[in-house]
Structure 1
Amino acid sequence: MTDHEKVNILLVDDQPAKLLAYEVILKELDENLVVATSGREALECLLKNEVAVILVDVCMPELDGFELAAMIREHPRFQKTAMIFISAIQVSDIDRLRGYEMGAVDYVPVPVIPEVLRAKVKVFAELYRKTRQLERFNAELEDRVRARTAELEESNGRLIESEQRRSLAIAAGKMGSWDWDWVNGDWMWDEGQFRIFGVDPQTFEVTPANVQALLHPDDIDELRKAMAQFAKGVTTYEAEFRILRPDGGVCWCVGTAAATVDKGGRVVRVSGVTVDITERKQAEERQNLLAREVDHRAKNALALAQSIVRLTRGESVKAYVRAVEGRISALARVHTVLSLSSWQGAEIGKLVEEELAPYSTGHQVARDGSQIQLQPATAQTLALALHELVTNSAKYGALSTLSGRLSIRWESDANTLTLAWEESDGPLVQKPISRGFGTRSVIASIESQLGGRADFDWRSEGLICRLSVPLNGHLAGAEPARARDMVVADNAGSRASRSADA
């Protein structure tokens, strides 16, 4: 409501002539004049409109002015609406008191003096207008206060959330912040800084001497030079350094600092952030070690492949290719097993499972043994030996027929792995006149490369092979001389009807 917005003035009288007279008198006020010829009509008008002033005749049929005023005051909306009584008779003080109790704010006697009536109505109309403006201003002020309060609460919430994120970021990122008053020499560390240095905030006093005592001796001079640069006009620096924690641990850090200067260009404060990069440094070391390890393992794998190519024999080129491919595939399978363990080793049961996977769908193969972790070199060589036994069995032994059975059992004591390979119910076995290439390959792998023992028992009902392998991590080296000798001997040897070889 603006200063010039019109308000409603309700005129209530049962005589149209009086209502017309009131309208003429009040027309100069330039307000909205609403007329009602009875108390009931006045009530209906009030329920539909906002009214600033009610001008009501005391003497009316059915519902007089006092009764109408009482009914108006009972409604919550009109308890403060200004009512002016017009009385054509002389009223007593008791009547006036009754009128005031009913909610009247003033009396106007008849005959009505136009100037007096206009003045009284104008006062209450302006009072209503100003009251509504004040209410509106209060409502707007309350809205602004609520909006501002909401903004402050939201801003405070964002600040708290930001601080929480900062704290979480510092904790997750292993960061700490510090501040140094260059003039007074006062230091301030946050919780992250104390945590990185591994000291207790309650007992550790941050002084140059105490901080220097925690720095690695080889890094102190570099840090001193960096800090001295501030006096020469440098405003930022970054450096890597090590911390010797009280618990004996070494922590690698990267520190960044920025100087605040006064108008004269003099340093007054230095602030910085320290980040724990120990894990990164360790990762770099592991990466370098891994690169060297990969190089070493690649050379070992190539040496094994070269040995396979040189030691393999075949009756034809096709047979030779199949034999080489089978042994290379066996080596690839064990490499897969090793890679899944990040080259920490391979479990023997997994090696056996990989080699016998094509025969595991039925009931031909029985496996039994505890979990034994083998070192990479042992796993590679043993896998090749198992491949020779499986290939030999698939060609000539128990795995060459559906009725054949194969039992593999293994166990270990503190230093030795023992594996028993027992075939049965397969083709009739005849002891070979001389050792075939496959047999010598198994013996070369187990005995020459691993320092173990391989025993073969050629029973007529099926082959029994017992392998004993030391668990002390013998590394597979280059092609052994014994293996080369076996190849030479194999060229002159003859094959038996049951060679038991791939």
Structure 2
Amino acid sequence: MDHEKVNILLVDDQPAKLLAYEVILKELGENLVIASSGREALEVLLKTEIAVILVDVCMPELDGFELAAMIREHPRFQKTAMIFISAIQVSDIDRLRGYEMGAVDYVPVPVVPEVLRAKIKVFAELYRKTRELERLNRELEDRVRARTAELENSTTKLRESEQRRSMAIAAGKMGSWDWDWISGDWMWDEGQYRIFGVSPDSFAVNPANVQALLHPDDVEQLRKAVAEFNKGTRAYETEFRILRPDGEVRWCVGTAAATVDDSSRVVRVSGVTVDITERKRAEERQNLLAREVDHRAKNALALAQSIVRLTRADEVKAYVNAVEGRINALARVHTILSLSSWQGAELSRLIDEELAPYSLGGQIVLAGPEVQLMPTTAQTLALALHELFTNSAKYGALSTRSGRLAIGWQVEDELLTLNWDETGGPLVMPPKSRGFGTRSLLASVESQLGGQAQFNWRAEGLLCRLEVPLTRKAAATAPGKFDAASAAELQRASG
């Protein structure tokens, strides 16, 4: 897959080692930048955007630990991934020191090419995805700023129009009024009545009735505005809320100007009221969208980092495949959620997406109603299903053509119950200890969703039961649905 290359900085004082690292990492297709000393590495960092730093611990003048400390002191490089290479036996104290300086991993000498490539590849991809999310965030911020500028420009034009005392009233959005300061008589035009949601046939315009339509929290500021005219103020503008008789709250901006007699005494106050409710709502939606995008970007990075850090495997290929599989499962559920504008995801769709990589020819039977999952529930359950499918394809019913898998689910009292029933596959032996997949599945379903996961390692195939609350209220009451026998069974099944 074509992608933008990232820069990988190789730091070592021995040319032979640098050449070896170049040969090992060449097939990754990234830009390899060479530095033969710590000081040269710092110069490169100041001029070049670096994704991953591979640095030798033992170097003259400035060793790897000192270089890492100097890099971390710079705000630009506080999150740059650094991998230490050490040709000597590193003690636990040295490892802790390295991690404190910002190292993300150690590679011993002699270097195993496959291991080094796998580690560099993971952090290069994470850097690339992080930059893509930052780019999308900047584009969104630019759109929000452009829209805000449009709104500010529109408001400026409106104020200029009001200052010129143009009384051209837009139907339903603007209203004008006139207040005789001496007699106390009021005059409203049709637009003013419409904004306040009252009829000229039944509403008498007087101070008491008008105040009753003002939002209680804004009454005092309008009283102060009236008092300003007695102190010599000739014009006033403010935003306020009205509470219509039908209960609807509307936002308005009001502009008022005083007319004075020859002795500078106020004799009349005239004004324009503009309904700006839609503008206010648009601003709220934009602010909410910006916060939501920022939140989702951080969550996606946190999940990806957790997957990379927590995945364990005996071989490099198995490690890479496990990480890619879990990140791809996360990407698939994110695609589904994006299509629904992050309103939720159908359970059947999650299962179909996990089935897609397999050609099973009728080995799987699905049964259950349409269930809409909240975004957080969908993300966690997608990863849990991925672990079940992956385990079955490697060791269970889906690893042989004779195997069968039945997946059924139902919902009762906002509690989703999903049964995973494997038969016809290889003979199943209960595990002596929980693998990472089982531990992560239990942690995600029980800790994150407040649900329960039960495993029964039958000889004829795995039987798994997941109970997932669909709402926070259901999550609070879900533990009560399990009796002592169920708890004992879960303990025996999971070892």
- TM-score with structure 2 setting the length: 0.53
1:456 aligns with 2:461: no
Query: Partner of 2:203: helix, strand, or coil?
Result: coil
How far has the Cα of 1:421 moved from its partner?
Answer: 1.9
* Aligned residues of 2:260 and 2:266 also touching (Cα < 8 A): yes
How far has the Cα of 1:242 moved from its partner?
Answer: 2.0
Q: Which residue of 1 aligns with 2:395?
A: 396
Query: Partner of 1:206: helix, strand, or coil?
Result: coil
Match for 1:429 among 427, 430, 434?
Answer: 427
How far has the Cα of 1:347 moved from its partner?
Answer: 2.8
Q: Which residue of 2 aligns with 1:170?
A: 171
After superposition, the C-alpha distances for 1:293-312 in whole angstroms (9 at most, x for unaligned) are 55555555454334323331
Query: Partner of 2:420: helix, strand, or coil?
Result: strand
The CA distance in 1 between the partners of 2:340 and 2:260, in whole Å, is: 56
The CA distance in 2 between the partners of 1:280 and 1:403, in whole Å, is: 63
Query: Partner of 1:170: helix, strand, or coil?
Result: coil
- C-alpha change, 1:360 and 1:238, in structure 2 (3 Å) is farther
- C-alpha change, 1:461 and 1:217, in structure 2 (3 Å) is closer
Q: Which residue of 1 aligns with 2:41?
A: none
The CA distance in 2 between the partners of 1:236 and 1:225, in whole Å, is: 13
Q: Which amino acid aligns with 1:410?
A: W
* Structure 2 unaligned residues grouped into runs of 5+: 1-167, 476-495
How far has the Cα of 1:418 moved from its partner?
Answer: 0.8
User: Kindly, what percent of the aligned residue pairs are identical?
Assistant: 73
- TM-score with structure 1 setting the length: 0.52
Q: Which amino acid aligns with 1:329?
A: N
* Aligned residues of 2:414 and 2:474 also touching (Cα < 8 A): no
* Aligned residues of 2:253 and 2:275 also touching (Cα < 8 A): yes
How far has the Cα of 1:385 moved from its partner?
Answer: 0.4
Residues 227-236 or 372-381, more deviating = 227-236
1:377 aligns with 2:376: yes
The CA distance in 2 between the partners of 1:414 and 1:222, in whole Å, is: 49
Q: Which amino acid aligns with 1:170?
A: A
- C-alpha change, 1:366 and 1:249, in structure 2 (3 Å) is same
* Aligned residues of 1:378 and 1:473 also touching (Cα < 8 A): no
How far has the Cα of 1:417 moved from its partner?
Answer: 1.0
* Aligned residues of 2:413 and 2:474 also touching (Cα < 8 A): no
The CA distance in 1 between the partners of 2:261 and 2:306, in whole Å, is: 75
Query: Which structure would you say has the larger Rg?
Result: 1
Q: Which residue of 1 aligns with 2:189?
A: 190
Q: Which amino acid aligns with 1:394?
A: A
* Aligned residues of 1:453 and 1:469 also touching (Cα < 8 A): yes
* Aligned residues of 1:368 and 1:408 also touching (Cα < 8 A): yes
Q: Which residue of 2 aligns with 1:326?
A: 325
The CA distance in 2 between the partners of 1:433 and 1:412, in whole Å, is: 30
The CA distance in 2 between the partners of 1:465 and 1:379, in whole Å, is: 18
Aligned residue pairs: how many?
308
* Aligned residues of 1:429 and 1:463 also touching (Cα < 8 A): no
The CA distance in 2 between the partners of 1:318 and 1:350, in whole Å, is: 29
The CA distance in 2 between the partners of 1:334 and 1:289, in whole Å, is: 22
After superposition, the C-alpha distances for 1:102-159 in whole angstroms (9 at most, x for unaligned) are xxxxxxxxxxxxxxxxxxxxxxxxxxxxxxxxxxxxxxxxxxxxxxxxxxxxxxxxxx
Query: Partner of 1:272: helix, strand, or coil?
Result: strand
Query: Partner of 2:472: helix, strand, or coil?
Result: coil
* Structure 1 unaligned residues grouped into runs of 5+: 1-165, 477-502
The CA distance in 2 between the partners of 1:235 and 1:356, in whole Å, is: 73
The CA distance in 1 between the partners of 2:368 and 2:210, in whole Å, is: 58
* Aligned residues of 1:377 and 1:474 also touching (Cα < 8 A): no
- C-alpha change, 1:189 and 1:215, in structure 2 (3 Å) is same
The CA distance in 2 between the partners of 1:177 and 1:358, in whole Å, is: 66
* Aligned residues of 2:395 and 2:426 also touching (Cα < 8 A): no
The CA distance in 2 between the partners of 1:170 and 1:318, in whole Å, is: 69
How far has the Cα of 1:192 moved from its partner?
Answer: 3.4
Q: Which residue of 1 aligns with 2:487?
A: none
After superposition, the C-alpha distances for 1:17-71 in whole angstroms (9 at most, x for unaligned) are xxxxxxxxxxxxxxxxxxxxxxxxxxxxxxxxxxxxxxxxxxxxxxxxxxxxxxx
